[in-house]
Amino acid sequence: MRTLLLFAAFFVTTGAVNAQTFLDSTFGTNGIVLTHIGSATSGGVIRSLQVLSDNKILAAGGADGNAVVIRYNENGNIDGSFGVGGMFTGPAHSGANAIALQTDGKIVIAGGAVTYRLDVNGSLDNTFGIGGVDSNIKYWPNIGGIVLALQPDGKIVFAGDANGTSIGVFRLWPDGRPDSTFGVNGAVVTASWSTWAYGSSKGIVVMPDGRIVVAGRCVAGFITVRMLPDGTPDTSFNHTGVVINSVGSGINYCHALQLQPDGKPVVGGNGGFSGTGSDFVALRYNVDGTLDDTFGDTGVAHIDCTGDFDEVWAMCSAPYGKFILAGYGINGADENFAVARMDSTGKADSTFCDNGRVTTQIQNDNSRAWAVALQHDGKIVAAGYSWIGPFPNNYPEITLARYTAQPSVAVQQFEKIPGNLLLYPNPAATKIYINDNAGHIENIEALDILGRKTNLNLLSANEVSIEGLLNGVYLFKVFFDYKPAVLQKMLIQKSP
């Protein structure tokens, strides 16, 4: 009697799996890229990422006291055709907190008190500000640009801190001049709305109708504000334009914001849900500012990555309403890169990595992901820093890691499938059919990388249900009574 045992992922040789199975081995060295800039005792960090149409990666941050923007090729090597030796370096005591791409490929950078624009080749764009650089301080004292968004009309909106106590939102014309039609001389300070609007901004998006959503943190927890295109409060959002929520126990921090196509904002950060530690947290609001009770637990979802302290620092959208969260998790005394994928209902997406999450120790005991981006092929790039020596005795190094949802492991050699054997359809969405006209098959099975079994419903000798299987690539192992076993690769691709 035939048996069919099916296990997700690839059939591998013994010893092919390691602790960083989900890193993409085609990127850098075993999925990791380290870039050191500056002197022997200084370091750098990445704060923002953009993936280009050819899967090249723009990474912006700071190193050796200056703003840096580096362009990497798809394989993780620095692209020497960009800037000088693959990078743009800003003036001393500047920064690159966020980057955004214009439709013409030019790069806008929010650098605290300075805004830059680069041409596609990484040189300063002389048509912007003065020689490609414009000082925000001369227009708005005591502000800092942390997050950035571009409007469809080319205007530049960025947000940060104002006076060290409040959310400040600022808008520029495409050439770098302040937009006087927004707020007061191009600036909105939300503390002027009410005493509840004090805080600092960590994320900004522009809605298709021109309304602006900003999220951040305040003493009371997560703060989200929505304003009309002219910078006045959008009173259709919680009646005041401001929503504040405290979730879980302990201190709440908000560091990220995304907007769903239906206009619902999702904010990411951390809150206490697991004993004395904290988890990755996401809150989803309805368009009227109320928490969306179809998401997580009455609008609040959380993922425990390490069992200790986890914190979201970046977020990006993924297909089918999913979200990718990135930051760090503490495992004992170590801070490690942490990445999780959340489905549209707020649950950890079990089709990604290890039940929806992955942590990676890089170099020594202190590494954090401060940016995340999704490539067009579905691979995920996280970036931030990792210390090259025991913290705090050395310095941080610019660090990128690329992940795949499927394990990156070695597949054993197998013979070509004979023409009279066929498992179909491929890809399969509901069932797999077995064409066994050859009459020499003893059984069919598959193994995952940990040898775990998956219960399947064998409907007949030639038909099996895949209802319980997750999307992904599978290898069926087919045993014959007259020759060595062979494998046939199948793709399970169900509708969302």
Q: Which residue segments constitute the domains of the chain, with CATH numbers given?
A: 4-9+410-492 (2.60.40), 32-403 (2.120.10.30)
- 86-134 pLDDT, tens digit each: 999 987 667 899 999 998 999 999 887 888 899 999 999 999 988 888 8
Q: Is 149:207 a contact under the CB 8 Å cutoff?
A: no
Q: Tell me, what's the pLDDT at 192?
A: 80
Please give the Cα distance from 473 to 493 (Å, whole number).
Answer: 9
pTM of the model: 0.77
**What long-range pairs does 351-357 form, CB within 8 A, spacing at least 24?**
351/405, 351/470, 351/471, 351/472, 352/405, 353/22, 353/403, 353/405, 354/22, 356/303, 357/303, 357/305
Instruction: Indicate the residue type of 208.
Output: P
Two tokens, residue 129: 């500000």
Average pLDDT, the chain: 82
Return the beta strands (E) in 389-456 as ranges: 396-403, 422-424, 431-435, 441-445
Mean pLDDT of 463-492: 70
Q: What percent of the chain has pLDDT over 70?
A: 78
Please give the Cα distance from 82 to 202 (Å, whole number).
Answer: 28
**What long-range pairs does 188-196 form, CB within 8 A, spacing at least 24?**
188/227, 188/231, 189/162, 189/163, 190/166, 190/214, 190/225, 190/242, 191/162, 191/163, 191/165, 191/166, 191/167, 193/225, 193/233, 193/240, 193/241, 193/242, 194/240, 194/242, 196/220, 196/240, 196/242, 196/244
Q: Tell me, what's the pLDDT at 391?
A: 58
Q: Tell me, what's the pLDDT at 441?
A: 63
Please give the Cα distance from 187 to 175 (Å, whole number).
Answer: 17
Q: Tell me, what's the pLDDT at 346?
A: 94
- 406-425 pLDDT, tens digit each: 554 433 333 344 444 567 77
- 145-201 pLDDT, tens digit each: 789 999 989 999 999 888 777 888 999 999 988 999 999 989 998 888 877 778 788
- 3-50 pLDDT, tens digit each: 333 333 333 332 333 333 589 989 999 999 999 886 656 688 999 999
Q: Tell me, what's the pLDDT at 141?
A: 64
- 249-278 pLDDT, tens digit each: 777 888 999 999 899 999 999 988 866 688
| Three-class secondary structure of residue 28 per DSSP | coil
Mean pLDDT of 325-334: 87
